[in-house]
Structure 1
Amino acid sequence: MYLISIYFDKKTNKILQWYIDKIAEKTGNHFMIENRVPPHMTIAAIEARNVDVLKSAFDDLNGKLYAGSMKIVSIGQLFPYVMYATPVLDQKLFNLSEEVYNAFCDIPETTMSEYYKPFSWLPHITLGKTLDKVQMEKAFQAMQESFVPFTAQYNEIGISKVNPHEDVGRFKLV
């Protein structure tokens, strides 16, 4: 499994990392920290035998995608294990998702995750992962006490391998 994700500027990273650290502190679940998962928002998830079949499509996106901002307005949960920050899906973010999907959808011997297709994608920024029921309750309480909506700036896109997280390639957005 390979992920195409956007990454944030230093200020946004600092805010998101603070929430990740807060959840880890309150829950005792340090999955995000121990696995060095940087703050990011996944745009596409692709099953492929190896990354080589994806590299040229990824490289072709360089210079075609734009940096931008998004409003992070709420906290959500993907039951039973994930706590995330929720951005507003505006036209600019939708277009970015669609361009990425179109770049990879016709590559032979790959499968795009149905959860990241246009009109089927729930934008989210994972703050806590592999949380059990008690940890999920503590994470929710931590976010209820500390989360404040903010505007995030994204300025890079990357391709990574999962389990464990490993960057394969990354470039700045225009």
Structure 2
Amino acid sequence: MSTFPPAVVFSAPTVTSHLFETHRQFYKELKIYHKFANELYFPECWIPHCTFAIGLNKDSLLRTFEHCLNQFQPFDGQITEIGIVKIEFVDGIHSSKTIFAKRL
């Protein structure tokens, strides 16, 4: 478990060269959309992760982090789908909408 500012709780996968190469290829294939991309997700900046919570206040951040430390168990997994998700923040509520998804 770890955090990104401001108030994001996440877990990171075991990073492999194949994972980074897949990400680089993703950016290469979608280069016409680079102007819309957040620079944190550029191949040379990207930190692979799975977000558990985002936009938490200090108390919620601490409780979430403590819960994850006490409950989270490492697991093996496989990427089976890739997608583009739009995250919206309205009146303090975070939601996401899948714009595009492709099974691998």
- TM-score per shorter chain, which class? 0.7 to 0.9
Superposition deviation, residue 108 in structure 1: 6.9
Which amino acid letter does the alignment assign opposite residue 14 of structure 2?
V
TM-score normalized with structure 2 length: 0.81
- The one-letter code matched in structure 2 to 1:168 is I
1:136 to 36, 47, 61: 61
- Matching residue within 92, 98, 103 for 1:167: 98
RMSD in angstroms over aligned alpha carbons? 1.8
How far is 1:161 from its partner?
Answer: 2.7
Q: Aligned ranges for residues 1-174 of structure 1 at < 5 Å?
A: 75-105=1-31, 107=32, 110-163=35-88, 164-173=95-104
C-alpha distance in structure 2 between counterparts of 1:108 and 1:101, whole Å = 9
- Give how far 1:160 is off: 2.9
Q: What is the SS of the residue equivalent to 2:77?
A: strand
**Structure 1: which 5+ residue stretches go unaligned?**
1-74
Gaps of 5+ in 2: 89-94
Q: How far off is 1:132 after superposition?
A: 0.8
Q: How many residue pairs end up in the alignment?
A: 98
- Between the aligned partners of 1:142 and 1:109, the Cα distance in structure 2 is 36
SS of 1:131's equivalent in the other structure is coil
More contact order relative to length (CA 8 Å, sep ≥ 6): 1
Assess if the C-alpha contact under 8 Å between 1:160 and 1:169 holds in 2: yes
Deviates more, 1:147-156 or 1:120-129: 147-156
TM-score, normalisation: structure 1: 0.51
Higher mean alpha-carbon deviation, 109-118 vs 141-150, is at: 109-118
The sequence identity of aligned pairs, in percent, is: 28
